[in-house]
């Protein structure tokens, strides 16, 4: 199928398929290949969806959520709000994002994605200290002053400090939301998001009206990583969503850095854990810039065009794979025993509900609806427990809201 023939015409149908949910990103792509367009798949009836190989639960979920006017509603929203809709087939869709393990099929972009070859994601705790805010501002300003865009999640705390410092330095910044573009979260950052659109972009994979549900944020983190070439963890406790981002970054072959913190407050113990595992500690902007220059020199030596949106020849993955393997190599038996002890300790620290949900997991991945059904708990309770278990590195998201024990 010639994707160039339908990517413009089908953009809003593909967005509607994602917004309705149920079919899953890989399933959508395979089915589009079979039927020829997103529009044809969007209007497919139950029999056709069965023929395409979708499971009963997927079909019932999709058909229940499908609204036939949804593509037109999404188009009107984008036109009225000045939002650019990029699909994975669109010109301008970031090439490095396209090559992560589970790339978003659509991106809603408010503002303008800067063209760059190298960006740093800055992540950390929402409940940060003055030290964390100061460190975030220092690195955000220092990197931005050298022309390096800052990517973060738009949350309060470390994220906000990084965005603000970048804007103050006249730099480019990208905020990746875990909600629809019309749902400012946190509300206090509504004005910040407006200013970001003037010097960068606010982006999300979620359709307008999507609330900031707990399980959206670990999924959001993969986009933060995909838009960056390095990730800096500024301040993070042992149970922190920033650690999920760090591990995604390592799996995706990005450089990971951590800022050392106060040993007495516990607010940087997550950073210290990363450093013990081999992540490079940094206390000055030059620590990152030195690696950036090596990265840049290696690409120039190979004649790779310096543009995030240029075709990816796989060189980045080869550059970073060695570092990723070195950083998180826990294959010997002694470390396995230590990991098991750590796992049990983390499990004991969880709520009784989270422990109950963890016990449901065996060898196979479970979908979110299956977890609700097997646990007998409600949607909100399961959402919070699943997020806690991910932060504790007891389960991992395999995409399409399916989770597996680590």
Q: How confident is the prediction for the chain on average, in pLDDT?
A: 86
- Burial (CB < 10 A; 0-12, 13-18, 19+), residue 187, is exposed
Return the SS3 of 85.
strand
Task: Quickly state the pLDDT bin for 367 (edges 50, 70, 90).
Answer: confident
| Residue 320 to residue 331: CA distance in whole angstroms | 19
Determine the pLDDT at residue 335: 56
Band of pLDDT at residue 316, cut at 50, 70 and 90: very low
Cβ 27 vs Cβ 216: under 8 Å: no
Q: What is the pLDDT of residue 319?
A: 31
pLDDT band of residue 301 (cuts 50, 70, 90) is low
Non-local CB neighbours of 374 within 8 Å, separated by 6+ positions: 360, 366
Q: How many CB atoms lie within 10 A of CB 252?
A: 21
The whole-angstrom separation of Cα 322 and Cα 375 is: 40
Return the pLDDT at 1: 40
Rounded (5°) CA angle 152-154-354: 90
Give 17's pLDDT tier (boundaries 50, 70, 90): very high
* CB-CB contact of 398 with 404 (8 Å): yes
Q: Which DSSP helix (H) or strand (E) runs through 103?
A: none
Strand, coil or helix: 330: coil
H helix runs in 146-238, sequence order = 158-168, 190-199, 216-226
pLDDT tens digit sequence for 248-279: 999 899 999 999 998 888 899 999 999 999 99
Provide the pLDDT for residue 338. Answer: 63
Q: Is the dihedral of CA 90, 92, 93, 95 positive or negative?
A: positive
pTM over 0.75: yes
Query: Helix (H) and strand (E) counts for the chain?
Result: 19, 12
Query: Which residues are registered as beta bridge partners of 151?
Result: 121, 174
pLDDT grade, residue 336 (50/70/90)?
A: low
With CA atoms as reference, report the closest residue to 143 among 249, 327, 282, 323: 282
pLDDT given for residue 308 in this prediction: 52
280-281 and 230-233 beta bridge pairing = unpaired
């Amino acid at each position: 199928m010639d994707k160039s023939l339908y990517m413009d015409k089908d953009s809003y149908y593909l967005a509607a398929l994602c917004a309705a949910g149920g079919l899953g990103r890989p399933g959508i792509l395979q089915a589009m290949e079979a039927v020829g367009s997103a529009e044809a798949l969007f209007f497919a009836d139950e029999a056709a969806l069965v023929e395409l190989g979708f499971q009963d639960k997927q079909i019932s979920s999709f058909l229940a959520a499908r609204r036939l006017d949804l593509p037109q509603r999404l188009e009107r929203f984008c036109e009225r709000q000045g939002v650019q809709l990029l699909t994975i087939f669109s010109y301008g869709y970031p090439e490095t994002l396209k090559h992560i393990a589970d790339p978003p099929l659509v991106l809603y972009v408010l503002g303008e994605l800067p063209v760059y070859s190298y960006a740093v994601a800055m992540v950390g705790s929402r409940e940060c200290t003055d030290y964390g805010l100061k460190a975030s501002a220092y690195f955000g300003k220092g990197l931005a002053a050298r022309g390096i865009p800052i990517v973060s999640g738009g949350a309060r705390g470390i994220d906000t400090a990084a965005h603000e410092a970048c804007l103050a330095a006249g730099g480019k910044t990208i905020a990746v939301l875990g909600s629809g573009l019309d749902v400012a979260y946190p509300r206090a950052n509504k004005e910040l998001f407006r200013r970001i659109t003037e010097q960068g972009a606010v982006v999300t994979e979620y359709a307008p009206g999507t609330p900031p549900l707990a399980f959206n944020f670990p999924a959001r983190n993969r986009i933060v990583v995909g838009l960056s070439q390095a990730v800096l963890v500024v301040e993070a406790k042992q149970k922190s969503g920033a650690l999920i981002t760090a591990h995604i970054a390592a799996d995706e072959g990005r450089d990971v850095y951590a800022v050392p913190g106060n040993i007495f407050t516990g607010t940087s113990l997550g950073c210290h854990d990363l450093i013990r595992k081999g992540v490079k500690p940094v206390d000055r902007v030059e620590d990152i810039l030195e690696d950036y220059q090596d990265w840049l020199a290696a690409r120039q030596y190979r004649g790779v065009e310096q543009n995030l949106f240029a075709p990816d020849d796989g060189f980045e993955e080869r550059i970073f794979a060695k570092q990723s393997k070195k950083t998180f190599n826990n294959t010997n038996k002694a470390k396995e025993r230590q990991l098991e002890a750590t796992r049990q300790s983390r499990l004991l620290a969880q709520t009784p509900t989270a422990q109950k949900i963890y016990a449901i997991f065996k060898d196979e991945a479970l979908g979110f609806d299956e977890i609700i059904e097997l646990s007998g708990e409600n949607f909100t309770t399961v959402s919070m427990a699943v997020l806690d278990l991910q932060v504790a590195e007891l389960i991992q998201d395999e995409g399409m809201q399916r989770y597996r024990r680590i």
